[in-house]
Structure 1
Amino acid sequence: MGRGKILQRPYSPQQAQLLPANQPGAITQAATEARAGNLIVIPTDTLYGLACDAFNAEAVRAIYAAKQRPYSKPIPILLADHTDLPRVVRNVPPVAQIFINQYWPGPLTILLPKHPDLPEEISNNDSVAVRIPNNEVGRAIIRAAGGAMAVTSANLTGQEPADTAVDAKNKLAGWVTAVVDDGPSPHGAASTILDCTGGRLNILREGPISAQSLLGLAER
């Protein structure tokens, strides 16, 4: 994988703007930062997320550096709308479409075949983790930034995830240029992860959506 050079904190901690979600222009301002190749923090329906343009390889590498995250751990992609899905996946297996119809937008991340246009930094294999969050502010930012963002929890690897914007700003000082504050995160848990790339369903992480609910839907 083309990791490039080891990145250092590119900004002073004072450069991170805390933007109230209801402040006029906040969504546009955050999206502009992302389009410029910078890292930002956005609200989702689970936890606050460290985000960048999903198609900007250098920005994706900066996420790994900011989180001290090993390259062996892929970074999920959050979409604004269902129509953005063909940009990031090669195809959607019929079984995956069942879960998409039922749980998107919502706290279900689905592994799907990765589109070749995505930078290799997104994942070290042929799949990509994708979801649409049930958070209007987060989706509005993603939409304004181009429709698809690489997003992972706003914290250092191994630390507790940030559940407020201020906490995220403090954890990632020096790495982000904008933090959008939409109040405390509604969930204390990350999304459920479901692998739909193989011949059988594989629940990789149980979160707000239980394994029992997923298996029950699959058996209908």
Structure 2
Amino acid sequence: MHKEISNALEVLKDGGLILYPTDTVWGIGCDATNPDAVKKVYELKERQDKKALICLVADDRMLGRYVKEIPKVAYDLFEVSEDPITIIYDDAQNLAANLIAEDRSIAIRIPDDDFCFQLIRRFGKPIVSTSANISTQPTPKSFKEIAPRILKGVDYVVNLHREKMCTKPSAIIKLSANGKVKIIR
């Protein structure tokens, strides 16, 4: 795992794209603070940049650097959720502008996966995590289902957990600063 983290870090630091296993599905990732790298993700996925992407952070301390205010209920959700949960926060900051939604919100998950945790922790910044598919195509449930076009479109493919089957993506919940909670998925 150490070698895979080092290889992925080199690509991320150079503004490249990685294909990597997350706690949910195989993801296309890049430096979430680099607008040129984020643009490459949109182009590879053939996705409009009006549709915001998810990013991953290592922990709640890192999360606090990228959203102005973490609603208290978020900490409760971190504690009680048994399944992966992505939370949409208001008032994103310090991220690539083309990663943030028009309403200034951002979707962020703290992954429960050792590889992701170590990668993000060593990188020191959030990493984009979007499913490894063209926007109009279904999300691949395994590495074998990832389209050759995606495999060729990234700069590095992590060589871990390729046998992993993914049955579903994370839940998505929007937590507004005004206390509203909305279940998206």
Q: What TM-score do you get using the length of structure 1 for normalisation?
A: 0.76
Structure 1 outlier segments of 4+, above 4 Å: none
Instruction: Indicate yes or no: 2:69 matched with 1:91.
Output: yes
Gaps of 5+ in 2: none
Distance 1:97 1:103, change over 3 A: same
Q: Is the 8 A contact 1:87 1:115 kept in 2?
A: no
- Per-residue CA deviation, residues 78-117 of structure 1 (Å, 9 max, x unaligned), is 012222111211111122221123338x510001123332
Paired AA for residue 176 in structure 1: V
Contact map agreement 2:32 2:125 (CA 8 A) in 1: no
Structure 1 range deviating more: 182-191 or 66-75: 182-191
Structure 1 residue 171, shift from structure 2 partner:
4.0
Aligned equivalent of 2:180: 200
- Normalising by structure 2, what TM-score? 0.89
Is the 2:86–2:109 Cα contact (8 Å) retained in structure 1?
yes
Query: Per-residue CA shift, 1:5-42, capped at 9, x if unaligned?
Result: xxxxxxxxxxxxxxxxx4x5111111110111000011
CA contact (8 A) 2:142 2:163 kept: yes
- Alignment partners' CA distance in 1, 2:180 and 2:148: 41
Counterpart residue type for residue 188 of structure 1: T
Report the counterpart of residue 155 of structure 2 in structure 1.
Answer: 177
| Distance in 2 of aligned mates of 1:132 and 1:52 | 16
What displacement does 1:60 show? 0.5
What's the offset of the Cα at 1:73? 1.1
Aligned twin of 2:170: 191
Give the superposed CA RMSD.
1.9
Shift of 1:72: 2.0
Structure 1: how far apart are the matches of 2:79 and 2:30? 26
Q: 1:100-119 to 2 correspondence within 5 Å?
A: 100-103=78-81, 106-119=83-96
1:154-173 equivalence runs, <5 A: 154-168=132-146, 170-173=148-151
Contact 1:165 1:183 (C-alpha < 8 Å) held by counterparts: yes
SS state of the match for residue 53, structure 1?
A: coil
CA 1:155–1:51 in structure 2 vs 1: closer, same or farther (change >3 Å)? Answer: same
- Percent identity, please: 30
Contact 1:155–1:162 (CA<8 Å) still a contact in 2?
yes
Distance 1:147 1:186 in 2: 27
What is the CA distance between 1:165 and its match in structure 2?
Answer: 3.4
Whether the aligned pair in 1 keeps the contact of 2:133 and 2:150 (CA below 8 Å) is yes
- Tell me which structure has the larger Cα radius of gyration: 1
Does the residue aligned with 2:151 lie in a helix, a strand or coil?
A: coil
Whole-angstrom CA distance in 2 between matches of 1:166 and 1:143: 28
1:143 to 111, 121, 134: 121
**Could you say what secondary structure the match of 1:87 adopts?**
coil
Alpha-carbon contact 1:43-1:135 (below 8 Å) kept: no
Structure 2 counterpart of 1:121, from 92, 98, 111: 98
Q: Match for 1:71 among 49, 52, 71?
A: 49
Task: Give 5+ residue unaligned stretches, structure 1.
Answer: 1-21, 206-220
